[in-house]
């Protein structure tokens, strides 16, 4: 039986030919995902239930031991150390994202209000840090936070740190580093929404007696939600897992889950435990985004 | 002032410039309480700017806006008893129809029972009660417009401003909505100020029309006044089609390229324009007693209810009933009745 021809977007073809073409276009990406995402993930899940051998090799006997250990149970009793690190990571990611949001709104409105020509220049200024490696950018903070520079001097003058010491390693340095590294990830998607803002909704809210907060919540936030959502995902997810910034600027004083994982795969050679922490991180990230989605239900953020 | 309607809104010496661009040259106008007032003009004439100044969305460069005796020029939109129906309606896409209409009341923290009552009543008034739980994207253009009107009216404003309210509607719906808007305004007795570039819309809806051009009000009056007695060339041409004839003053009338025309009053200029609407020109086979012009039909356009004829001399347009059988090249007699000839000021 001859298959009937159809007109598809102006092209004479058959259903079968279209399906075939679509599949062939898709197959590359599908295979890539299967080979480099799905399979490794499955191995990882399996690995997280395995056991470390004496010399750091993987012994494929399955137990919940790694997760028990992550929860703080060991032969010496219970310690909250790992849970503290996990909790701290969530807080760092949350604070970084929140501060980035607070900074991005004025920033993006400022850029969007510039004349078209200089708008481009402002965007380039935001994008330029992307051209520099994150490690180098983070090292740059070493200079800025060193004892001779004004930041450390002011802090010393205010009695926040002993005179002659640097501002790193510290929680403060981690936050500054994280926010400066991840601000563009939030500001750029947000800008794409702010630029297209329909100001007549703002005027309508004003006309209908709305307070400033109400104007923002009802006329600006819902309109910028798509960009904000992308920005939050692009900021929150990597900040949960980051290890360069806390490693360099936090030192041992401010370990995050990223550093913990790196340690397991590096120095400790305990891959199964590292895999278990990674799983925990993944679940926590998903869970955090879920909470965010619930909260944002009214404005349909995700 | 006995017997005179209360003066509701006074626009006094308003000017507005955006940088080097002058949007409004000195505008003075009164809008009476309870009237349907229309600002009519081509795009860029400053009508929307004037509306925005009244709404409190724009500051005038000079001049003042006085609402029932109180100067409100520098009050922002949120402090004025004036509400606006925006051109694009500007409904909040994330809120239901009910919440859109309730917006102004909730902003002012009305008690919940009052909000429920007033929103329901206003939605019923605009026959949108059944749609209260839908979102704006689930409504047609006409329904969205009703919601926008309800959202403004629920606040019981002193003045309702409408910025090109019909521009998003198709032609058929537009005609229907114009009449409905007129009825609604009569029923409520609220002052409506509408901005439009559509002369038919202005004629149907308004108690008074202010015709604007290049930042000025050229003529203000009832629809009959501005349509039948346009002051100048701009008004005559903007409100419907008009034949303009160059004329020179002559005893009892004017001498023109199409011959002598008797007028009811002699013009006060020596040379100028007289206008006549295409529909007031009578077409016949015999020479009329007065103001007859012998003409040749150059073109015929069938419009369903009538024919539009292009005739020479004078490149005039004539609108005539559709029952006659004309051909291009026919010789006819036109009658331009003195009552229908309007002497323009320029």
The mean pLDDT of chain A is 88
**Taking CB atoms and an 8 Å limit, are A204 and B95 in contact across chains?**
no
What was the pLDDT predicted at A302? 38
Pairing label, strands B159-163, B82-85: parallel
Residues of A in contact with B104 (CB under 8 A): 208-209
- Please report whether residue A39 resides in a domain: no
**Closest Cα in chain A to B82:** A207
**Chain B contact set for A299 (CB, 8 A):** 94
**Residue at A73 is within a domain:** no
Q: Is there a contact between B90 and A201 if contact means CB atoms under 8 Å apart?
A: yes
Instruction: Say if residue A298's pLDDT is above 90.
Output: no
Burial class (CB in 10 A: 0-12, 13-18, 19+), B346: exposed
Let me know if A58 is exposed, middle or buried by CB neighbors in 10 A (0-12, 13-18, 19+): middle
Q: Which domain holds residue A269?
A: 84-299
Catalogue all structural domains in chain B, each as residue range(s) with its CATH number: 7-236 (3.40.50.300), 241-343 (2.40.50.140)
Q: What is the number of alpha carbons within 13 Å of residue A151 lying toward its C-beta? A: 12
Distance between CA atoms of residues B66 and B75, nearest Å: 11
Question: Which residue in the set A200, A208, A222 is minimally distant from B94, CB to CB?
Answer: A222
Residue A295 pLDDT class (50, 70, 90 cuts): low
Chain B positions in Cβ-Cβ contact with residue A203 (cut-off 8 Å): 57, 77, 84, 86, 90
User: Cα–Cα distance between B176 and B146 in angstroms, integer?
Assistant: 13
pLDDT class of A1 with cuts at 50, 70, 90: low
B333 secondary structure, DSSP code? E
Tokens of A181: 């590294």
Selection from B204, B211, B164, B210 nearest residue B185 by Cα: B204
Query: Measured between CB atoms, which of A209, A218, A300 is closest to B92?
Result: A218
Nearest CA in chain B to A210: B107
Tokens of B106: 């909730």
What are the residue ranges of helices labelled H in chain B?
47-55, 97-107, 112-125, 141-153, 171-188, 199-205, 223-228, 233-238
Quote the CA–CA distance of B238 and B39 in Å, as a whole number.
13
How many domains in chain A? 1
Checking if the pLDDT of A299 tops 50, the result is no
In a domain, A133, yes or no: yes
pLDDT at A167: 84
Closest residue on chain A to B161 (Cα) = A207
Residues of chain B with pLDDT under 70: 1-7, 322-323
A81 touches chain B (CB under 8 A): no
- Interchain contact, B103 vs A218, CB within 8 Å: yes
User: For residue A5, is it within any domain?
Assistant: no
In a domain, A47, yes or no: no
Chain A contact set for B84 (CB, 8 A)? 203-204, 207
Cβ pair B230, B236 in contact under 8 A: yes
The Cα–Cα gap between B69 and B50 comes to: 19
Residue whose entry in the numeric block shows the structure tokens 């015929």? B300
For residue B91, the chain A residues in CB contact (below 8 A) are 204
Letter string b/e over residues A157-183, b meaning 16 or more CB atoms within 10 A of that residue's CB: eeeebeeeebbbbbbbbbbbbbbbbbb
Residue B322 has a pLDDT of 61
Residues of chain A found within 8 Å of residue B56, distances taken between Cβ atoms: 206-207
> Is residue A101 included in any domain, yes or no?
yes
Q: Model ipTM? A: 0.86
CATH code where residue A200 lies:
1.10.3720.10
pLDDT digits (tens, 9 = 90+) for A146-196: 888 888 888 888 888 888 888 888 888 999 999 998 999 999 999 999 999
User: Per-residue DSSP letters for A149-208?
Assistant: SHHHHHHHHTTSS-TT--S-SSHHHHHHHHHHHHHHHHHHHHHHHHHT--HHHHHHHHHT
- Nearest chain A residue to B107 by CA: give it: A210
pLDDT at A300 over 60: no
Sign of the alpha-carbon torsion through B332, B338, B341, B346: positive
The chain B residues in contact with chain A (CB within 8 A) are 55-57, 76-78, 83-84, 86-88, 90-95, 103-104, 107-108, 151-152, 155
State whether residue A95 sits within 8 Å of chain B by CB: no
pLDDT digits over A63-87, tens only?
998 999 998 888 888 888 899 999 9
Mean pLDDT across the stretch A248-258?
83
Contact A203 B151 (CB under 8 A): no
A217 shares contact with chain B (CB less than 8 Å): no
Q: What is the pLDDT of residue A292?
A: 66
pLDDT tens-digit readout, A178-192: 999 899 999 999 999
Q: What is the pLDDT of residues A101-116, one digit of tens each?
A: 999 999 999 999 999 8
**The pLDDT value given to residue A32:** 94
Q: What is the pLDDT of residues B33-68, one digit of tens each?
A: 999 999 999 998 999 999 999 999 999 999 999 998
Please enumerate in sequence order all residues whose Cβ is within 8 A of that of A101, keeping only pairs 6 or more positions apart, or say none: A186, A228, A231, A232
A277 within some domain = yes
């Amino acid at each position: 039986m001859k298959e009937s021809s159809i007109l598809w977007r102006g092209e004479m073809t058959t259903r079968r030919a279209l399906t075939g073409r679509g599949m062939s276009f898709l197959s590359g990406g599908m295979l890539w995902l299967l080979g480099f995402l799905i399979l490794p993930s499955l191995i990882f899940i399996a690995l997280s239930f395995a056991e470390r051998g004496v010399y750091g090799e993987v012994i494929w006997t399955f137990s919940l031991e790694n997760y028990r250990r992550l929860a703080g149970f060991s032969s010496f009793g219970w310690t909250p150390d790992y849970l503290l690190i996990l909790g701290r990571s969530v807080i760092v990611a949350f604070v970084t994202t929140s501060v980035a949001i607070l900074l991005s709104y004025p920033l993006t409105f400022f850029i969007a209000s510039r004349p078209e020509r200089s708008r481009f220049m402002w965007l380039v200024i935001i994008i330029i840090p992307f051209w520099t490696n994150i490690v180098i950018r983070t090292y740059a903070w070493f200079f800025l936070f060193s004892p001779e520079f004004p930041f450390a001097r002011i802090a010393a003058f205010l009695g926040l740190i002993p005179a002659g010491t640097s501002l790193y390693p510290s929680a403060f340095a981690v936050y500054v580093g994280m926010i400066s590294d991840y601000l563009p990830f939030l500001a750029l998607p947000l800008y794409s929404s702010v630029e297209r803002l329909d100001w007549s909704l703002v005027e309508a809210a004003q006309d209908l007696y709305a307070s400033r907060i109400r104007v923002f919540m009802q006329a600006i936030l819902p309109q910028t939600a798509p960009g904000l959502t992308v920005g939050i995902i692009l900021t929150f997810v990597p900040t949960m897992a980051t290890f360069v910034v806390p490693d360099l600027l936090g030192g041992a004083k401010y370990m995050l889950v990223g550093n913990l994982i790196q340690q397991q795969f590096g120095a400790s050679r305990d891959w199964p435990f590292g895999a278990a922490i990674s799983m925990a991180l993944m679940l926590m990230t998903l869970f955090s985004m879920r909470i965010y989605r619930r909260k944002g239900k009214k404005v349909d953020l995700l | 002032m006995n017997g005179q309607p209360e003066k509701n809104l006074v626009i006094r010496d308003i000017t507005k410039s955006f940088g080097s661009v002058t949007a409004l040259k000195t505008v003075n106008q009164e809008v009476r309480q309870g009237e349907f007032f229309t600002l009519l003009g081509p795009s860029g004439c400053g009508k929307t700017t004037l509306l925005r100044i009244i709404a409190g969305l724009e500051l005038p460069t000079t001049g003042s806006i006085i609402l029932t005796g109180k100067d409100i020029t520098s009050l922002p939109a949120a402090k004025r008893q004036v509400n606006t129906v925006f051109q694009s309606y500007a409904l909040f896409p994330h809120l239901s129809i009910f919440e859109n209409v309730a917006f102004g009341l909730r902003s002012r923290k009305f008690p919940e029972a009052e909000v429920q009552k007033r929103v329901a009543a206003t939605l019923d008034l605009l026959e949108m009660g059944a749609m209260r739980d839908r979102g704006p994207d689930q409504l047609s253009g006409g329904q969205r417009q009703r919601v926008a009107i309800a959202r403004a009216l629920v606040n019981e404003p002193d003045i309702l401003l409408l910025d090109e309210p019909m521009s998003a509607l198709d032609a058929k719906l537009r005609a229907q909505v114009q009449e409905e808007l007129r009825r609604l305004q009569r029923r409520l007795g609220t002052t409506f100020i509408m901005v439009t570039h559509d002369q038919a819309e202005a004629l149907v809806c308004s108690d008074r029309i202010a015709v604007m051009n290049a930042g000025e009000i050229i003529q203000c009056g009832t629809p009959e006044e501005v349509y039948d007695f346009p002051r100048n060339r701009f008004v005559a041409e903007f409100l419907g089609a008009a034949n303009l004839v160059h004329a020179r003053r002559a005893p009892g009338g004017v001498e023109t390229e199409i011959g002598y025309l008797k007028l009811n009053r002699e013009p006060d200029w020596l040379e100028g324009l007289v206008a006549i609407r295409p529909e007031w020109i009578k077409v016949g086979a015999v020479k009329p007693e007065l103001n007859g012009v012998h003409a040749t039909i150059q073109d015929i356009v069938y419009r369903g209810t009538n024919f539009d004829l292009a005739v020479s001399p004078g490149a005039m347009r004539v609108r005539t009933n559709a029952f006659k059988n004309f051909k291009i090249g026919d010789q006819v007699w036109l009658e331009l009745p003195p009552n229908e000839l309007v002497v323009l000021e320029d």
